[in-house]
Structure 1
């Protein structure tokens, strides 16, 4: 790598040769990981929600939680910084983000994000060829940008399992609004609808991510 290359040129070269489109090669590995541990992955996701339904039901029995209106699955950038793919799942009553009674569980999506974390470790080694023009901070920013692609894969996985979640005994037992909807996105930020109530999803999610 030429020592005469400036920071911007070095970054362009680094992205072009070592980052752009590389995530597509991880899709095969992610699919293999999923198929190899399909039952475990799906059951661990469902188990996290079973814990959430139970927690919400107990709070309702105690009178500290109203009927559930919104389930929000949060993508946590801070966990990505620590090479963990942890999602926080919250159950909110009609007060939504003003709901004072915390009802949340955590779920790990490492089977999707593991290839990303490994690639970023490899980039740390490759950057030495760029005469300090590429820093660990640059790679951290790249990781956060690349992670969004993997988050979208996680959202599709979640969406595929929603029908199972809605049939669970814990979900049926929990008191919930007829307008309940499940959302996934960054913590209290832009999100996608995983499950809209057919009659009222637009009303429930109006303004989300605005």
Structure 2
């Protein structure tokens, strides 16, 4: 890199040569890791979900939790900063975020994010060639930017597991709303639907057309 580059030019060069599109090469590693550890990865996610539902059921038995309306899987940016690919899964009753009885578990999606964390370590070493124009703070911002792509992979994995989750013992015994929804997104922020009871969707559609 030329020493005459300003920070903006240095960042553009850094992104172009060491960041952009590099995540696509990680897909091969993620797919391989998944295929090698498929049973463990899937059972770990299912067991974690079942643990959440069982916890909610026990709270319902104690009278501290109403029927579950929402299960929310949260992507935690703070964890990514620490190379921790942990998702928080919460079960809420009709009070949604005002539900005062906490019911949550943690799930580790490291099999998806591991290649990202390794790539960022290499970027830390590469930045030394840019005469301090690329800082560790810049690397952290790049990491958060890239992590969204891996989060989308995690969401697709979760969505693929929904049919199995709905058959888990904890979910089946837990008292739930006919309109229960499963969401995934940033903690108490923008999210997308993983599952919505099809019967409730049909009811709303019929009502709208009446």
| TM more than 0.5 | yes
Q: In structure 1, how many angstroms separate the alpha carbons of the residues matched to 2:152 and 2:209? A: 16
Structure 2 unaligned spans of 5+ = none
Report the alpha carbon displacement of residue 199 of structure 1 after superposing the two structures with TM: 3.8
Q: In structure 2, how many angstroms separate the alpha carbons of the residues matched to 1:130 and 1:206? A: 61
Deviation by residue 1:123-166 (Cα, 9 ceiling, x = unmatched): 00000000000000000000000000000000000000010000
Which SS does the other structure have where 1:88 is aligned?
Answer: strand
Which SS does the other structure have where 1:123 is aligned?
Answer: helix
Deviation by residue 1:169-208 (Cα, 9 ceiling, x = unmatched): 1111000000001000000001010001224359999999
CA contact (8 A) 1:181 1:201 kept: no
CA contact (8 A) 1:73 1:183 kept: yes
Q: In structure 1, how many angstroms separate the alpha carbons of the residues matched to 2:43 and 2:200? A: 29
Q: In structure 2, how many angstroms separate the alpha carbons of the residues matched to 1:28 and 1:191? A: 27
Report the alpha carbon displacement of residue 209 of structure 1 after superposing the two structures with TM: 26
TM-score, reference length from structure 1? 0.95
- CA 1:72–1:206 in 2, change beyond 3 Å: closer, same or farther? farther
TM-score, reference length from structure 2? 0.95
Q: Which runs of 4+ in 1 moved over 6 A?
A: 202-210
Q: In structure 2, how many angstroms separate the alpha carbons of the residues matched to 1:46 and 1:172? A: 13
CA contact (8 A) 1:73 1:185 kept: yes
Q: In structure 1, how many angstroms separate the alpha carbons of the residues matched to 2:163 and 2:66? A: 23
Report the alpha carbon displacement of residue 55 of structure 1 after superposing the two structures with TM: 0.4
Q: Name the counterpart of 1:106.
A: 106
Q: Which stretch of the first structure deviates more once superposed, 26-35 or 199-208?
A: 199-208
Q: In structure 2, how many angstroms separate the alpha carbons of the residues matched to 1:136 and 1:95? A: 41
Pair 1:59 & 2:97 matched: no
Report the alpha carbon displacement of residue 33 of structure 1 after superposing the two structures with TM: 0.2
Q: Name the counterpart of 2:27.
A: 27
Deviation by residue 1:63-108 (Cα, 9 ceiling, x = unmatched): 0000000000000000000001000000000000000000000000
- CA 1:19–1:116 in 2, change beyond 3 Å: closer, same or farther? same
Which SS does the other structure have where 2:149 is aligned?
Answer: helix
How big is the alpha-carbon RMSD for the aligned residues of Structure 1 and Structure 2?
3.6
Structure 1 unaligned spans of 5+ = none
Aligned length: 210
- CA 1:108–1:35 in 2, change beyond 3 Å: closer, same or farther? same
Which SS does the other structure have where 1:208 is aligned?
Answer: helix
Q: In structure 1, how many angstroms separate the alpha carbons of the residues matched to 2:19 and 2:208? A: 32
CA contact (8 A) 1:68 1:94 kept: yes
